[in-house]
Amino acid sequence: MKKTDIKGLSKEQSEAIFGQIAKLAGETFLNMDLSRDLVKAAQMLLLKDSLSQDPAEITQEFVANTLFPRAVNSVFADYQIYCHRYSLSKTQDPNLSEDIAQEAVKLLLSSPKRVENIGAWLIQVTYNLLRAHYKESKKEKKLYQELSLEAGSYEKWLKSEDLMELKELDSAMVEEMLKSDEYQQYHEIISFDSIKDYAAAHNISEEVAQKRKERARRNLKSMVLLSLGWRDTPSILDYNQYNAIRKFIREVPKVLKGEEEAEWIKSLNSDHIEAVRTIKTIADWGIKTLGERNYRITLFAFLEDRKPLGITFNIVLSKRNSVSVQSCLVNTLAAKLAVDAKVRVPVNRGMSMWTFEEITTLLKKIHIAPLA
């Protein structure tokens, strides 16, 4: 029987598990579609648990009573961190941001209306809560005005990707982007009925046309997000920066295995070099801006024995987007701790999300009208 990379599960077992997760998501969260996020969270939980039980023990009961609740906790913890980061970028107040983030997620859970775009909805609500907090404070009048403007503009832009929706928010930024080659190209591409028509008009393949669209779109999005204060997400990278870093990440396992050479591996001690030789896959990565073209890249990887491994690089991107590694650290698993759900665990100065039981209790309090 063919095996997958997740805990030695067969393809059929994996499909059954994640199908059950998706079904439970639909039954539990009636006003939002969390199936994709919850399936992804469940996949990561199965990957990260290197001391898991035999695959045969992953029954429907285990999925319903253990895996699904853990996936819910993980997803809502991510939502809260997401809100916390945006609030903190505006206020520089960790305590206020923590309260705002918790309230935003609570409002998501108690929303009587269906939420289609959860990310955009959380941003909108976070800004609304900040506006309400600062509305009565004369000292923070300017921040309130800025937030009022940004909330509506950002939401409209997310839905339409029309740069003019951001004109009131930052007219200088919009004017600059409207003059850019990326915008001119993007505007031309979307003026056609389809990418196929654009390709035919320019006598290029649809693949090349699609790549042009992706490049222009990503570059514009990067400009907008940087202007709005985003710093710790791959979305801030323009097209060339993003691809340069992705290329670097793809090369990391080859260097660690000794298949390719790189200067940065010489900075690791011999024990770490031996440990990383058995790296199997890189499951995820994140980025933090340290300065001008200077970033911290964090890779979450698995070794062949399924043990997790963290690798952190401080890099500098040249103007030609070549990656220069300034330092490299390997973080091995030191211990696994069972954390009581009531204990607040600071993550980026946020806190752990409510337990599965608390979330479902809140959901049960929502009155949902029966279908006609």
H/E segment holding residue 311? strand 308-317
State the SS3 of 141-190: HHHHHHHHHHHHHHHHHHHHCCHHHHCCCCHHHHHHHHHCHHHHHHHHHH
Task: Give yes or no for residue 275 having a pLDDT over 80.
Answer: no
Least confident of 165-169, 230-234, 266-270, 342-346: 342-346
| Distance from C-alpha of 359 to C-alpha of 181, rounded to nearest angstrom | 47
Residues contacting residue 1 through CB under 8 Å, at least 6 positions apart: 10, 12
What is the set of domains in the chain, with CATH numbers?
A: 1-109+121-134+354-372 (no CATH), 136-229 (no CATH), 239-332 (3.10.450.50)
Specify the pLDDT at position 271.
73
| Distance from C-alpha of 116 to C-alpha of 128, rounded to nearest angstrom | 18
For range 69-83, the mean pLDDT: 89
Q: How many helices (H) and strands (E) does the chain have?
A: 14, 4
For range 333-354, the mean pLDDT: 42
| Distance from C-alpha of 110 to C-alpha of 107, rounded to nearest angstrom | 5
Most confident range, picked from 40-54, 114-128, 220-234, 332-346? 114-128
- What is the percentage of the chain residues whose pLDDT exceeds 70? 74
From the number of C-beta atoms within 10 Å of its C-beta (0-12, 13-18, 19+), residue 282 rates as: middle
Task: Give yes or no for residue 348 having a pLDDT over 70.
Answer: no
Confidence category of residue 3, pLDDT binned at 50, 70, 90: very low
Which residue did the predictor score with more confidence, 66 or 145? 66
For range 292-299, the mean pLDDT: 90
Write the pLDDT tens digit of every residue in 174-217: 777 777 777 788 888 888 888 899 999 999 999 999 998 888 88
CB 129 within 8 A of CB 104: yes
